[in-house]
Structure 1
């Protein structure tokens, strides 16, 4: 998780344009805060081999969201990264820009959430003519019903994203927070 988000993906879909995946029109950051478990993700070098990836979001007084990501490395140690998410444009409150404390930047777009059970997050960047996709399926608990996972994958597939790249994230460690 300590590599630049922009360069940390293994998923390079070629010279295609980013799929047109819309973030939520209405987003309540207060309801979104708290702990989330990563259920599935597109490949990321920064999380290669990690299990039990979890995130905690805290809303700050200035309206930014402080985040901490934790994950268990293959050697058993805990990887941690912290950052701050800011709304890019008030007209699109679920499209966030994240700056990690190490200086790395990335996008974080909430595509779907019910705030209490699950969320779908997606971002896509073009770099040197290549398309880099990032996707996460999150849950408030360590498990998520497969029908929800499938529905979220379908949202991205319908937009043209290659959801076969999703891999499930084992959550057999309990809470890391």
Structure 2
């Protein structure tokens, strides 16, 4: 019974897809982290449990002397309270500079951060996915980021098409309020 409740809860609050493998992704080959650092606003995201109800979400990326990137995420949570978390992003390897392992400090959490496409000045498409073989599901994390609080509908459509073409589920992408 407890297992059934846990599974139901996961399906209710996370973007899970049944009987699917995570798609093969290709990160931006010519990715330049020095152009990427700075402030990004979260314009669209899919249903992600740890961001449920969050608005005014933004991230500031800063280059560290050791080649990693400092991450500072801020938001207003579903209770209307300011919240933030800090972490570090480290490129997985030099041959794929747009693929990062992101580690948050408190609580200690790790995850992938894959830049699929960015022009550095207007938009960034970030994607991560985890297979959960025991349940035969995939858990997707999708973020459409913008340097401004709004994103052009044509760019949104272009990025959604890229996601669809690679096999990601774009049905639950929703606009993130930035009216704070």
Q: SS of the counterpart of 2:140?
A: strand
Residue-by-residue CA offset, 1:148-172 (whole Å, 9 max, x unaligned): 0110010000111110110110111
Contact between 1:21 and 1:156, CA under 8 Å: does it hold in 2? Answer: no
> Partner of 1:92 in structure 2?
96
The alpha carbon displacement at 1:21 in A equals 2.1
> Partner of 2:149 in structure 1?
142
Residue-by-residue CA offset, 1:65-117 (whole Å, 9 max, x unaligned): 11011111233211111110000111000000011102110000000000011
1:152 paired with 2:159, answer yes
Q: SS of the counterpart of 1:18?
A: coil
Of 58, 65, 68, the match for 2:69: 65
Contact between 1:51 and 1:170, CA under 8 Å: does it hold in 2? Answer: yes
> Partner of 1:41 in structure 2?
45
> Partner of 1:110 in structure 2?
115
124-133 or 36-45: which moved more?
124-133
1:124 paired with 2:125, answer no
TM-score under structure 2 normalisation?
0.89
Structure 2 residue ranges without an equivalent (≥5): 1-9
Contact between 1:23 and 1:92, CA under 8 Å: does it hold in 2? Answer: yes
Paired with 2:78 and 2:130, the residues of 1 have a C-alpha distance of 28
1:133 paired with 2:143, answer no
Paired with 2:57 and 2:25, the residues of 1 have a C-alpha distance of 24
Paired with 1:53 and 1:71, the residues of 2 have a C-alpha distance of 4
Matched positions, count? 166
Paired with 2:80 and 2:141, the residues of 1 have a C-alpha distance of 25
1:11 paired with 2:51, answer no
Structure 1 residue ranges without an equivalent (≥5): 1-6
